[in-house]
Amino acid sequence: MVTIDLTTPPSPPTSFLDGMARRLALTLPELRLVAELAGGAPLPFDVRTPEGPAGAGSLSGRLGQSRGSAEDSAYADALATLHDPEDTLRRRGLLTDAGADPGIVGAVGLLATPRLALDVDVAAGTTQVKAWHRQAGDAVASLSTCDGLVFELAWFPVDRWTTELARVTQVPEDLAVATSHVPAHLDVPYALADAIGEALRAGRSDLVPILVSQADGAVLADGAPLGDAEAGAVLSAVHTEGRGRLRILAAEVSERATTSVGVVSWVLLMDGWHSLTPRHDDGARVALARVDPDDLPAELAPVLAQVTRRQEVAR
C-alpha cells in the first residue's frame, strides 16, 4: 500500500538547492515537443485543437460567432504567434543534439507514469488555474496553467509536496479578505443547501424562509442549532459570498482497470477558504469549516489514504 504523509512538516534540506522545486516555463508547443522526445509520453490533459475559421455553410458561419467559437479563434490566434519550439528550446539551452534536458524529460515521463495522481482546479475571482500533480516513489512532478498556452513544469522530492500543495490555495492579492456571515463551522442538510442555492440563482430569495421551515434536519453553527431566520441568512451567505472554489480529484493509478477516486472541495468566501465535507452518519449533510491554505495537505492526506486503501481491497 502506498503511504504518503502530508501532515508532517518536511525535514530540513541538506543544502539550499535540495529545498527548492525545479521550475520551468514551457509554451504548449515546447511541452508537446518535450513529450515527443520523452518517448511519446502522453500529457495529463486533452490538447485543444481549435478549428479553423467557420465556413459559410457551418452553423456559426450562418449565425455569427458564438462565445465559444470566438474564444477558440482567439486561442488559435495566440497559439499561432508562438515561436518554433525546437528553436526556442535550443536557445534556452534545454535542447541539444544529444536530446532534451534529462530533468525535463524525467519530469514529463513521471507525469505519464505516476502511482498517485491529483487533478487540481482552482478558481478565485477572475483567475482560474488547472494543475496536475503526479507522484511515484520519491519524486513528484507537477504541471499547471492558467491560459492553456504557457505551462509551469516543476519536479521535486516527495517530502516537498506539502509545500507545493500549499501554493495551490494562495488567494490572489486583489481579493481582499473581509468579514463573512458564515460561521467557522457549519453543518447543514445537503438538500436544504442545494435548494436555497437554486432559489437564489432563480431570483427567488422569497422562497428561502419556506425552504428552511420545511427542511428535514437542523442547521448547526459551531455545534448549536440556528433559528429559521438566522439559518436562512447564513445559508444565503454561503451562496452569495462565493468568490471562488477549489476541487481536487485524487486517484491511485493502477495497471488494473479499477481506479479509486477521492475528492477534496473548498469554497472561497469573504473571509477565505471553507472546506466542504459530505457526511452520511446523520442523513445526507454537508459540513463547512473555515480553513487556511496550509491546511490543504492535512485535508488531502486522509483522502489519499482512503484512495489507496480502496485500491488495495480491489486487488
How does pLDDT run across 59-88, given as a tens digit for each residue?
Answer: 444 444 455 566 777 888 888 888 999 999
Query: What digits encode the pLDDT tens for the residues 131-177?
Result: 999 999 899 999 999 988 999 999 999 988 988 888 888 888 788 88
- Domain holding 107, by residue range, is 25-113
Please identify, among 113, 146, 166, the residue that sits at the C-terminal boundary of a domain.
113
The answer to the question of residue 135 being in a domain is: no
Q: Answer with the one of 222, 240, 258 that is the final residue of a domain.
A: 240
Domain assignment present for 71: yes
Whether residue 255 is contained in a domain is answered as: no
Question: Does any domain span residue 7?
Answer: no
- 103-118 pLDDT, tens digit each: 999 999 999 999 999 9
Residue 8 lies in a domain: no
pLDDT for 72: 74
Task: Report how far residue 285's alpha carbon sits from residue 112's, in angstroms, rounded to the nearest whole number.
Answer: 37
In a domain, 121, yes or no: no
Assess if residue 221 is contained within a domain. yes
Q: How many domains does the chain have?
A: 2
Our measurement of the distance from residue 53's CA atom to the centroid of its chain's CA atoms, rounded to an integer in Å, reads: 32
pLDDT value of residue 302: 86
Percent of the chain clearing pLDDT 70 (strictly above): 82
Tell me the whole-structure pTM to 2 decimals. 0.82
Do the Cβ atoms of 6 and 304 come closer than 8 Å? yes
Averaged pLDDT for residues 197-213: 96
Let me know if residue 105 belongs to a domain: yes
pLDDT averaged over every residue in the chain: 84
By the 8 A CB rule, do 129 and 145 touch?
yes
Which one of 96, 113, 130 terminates a domain? 113
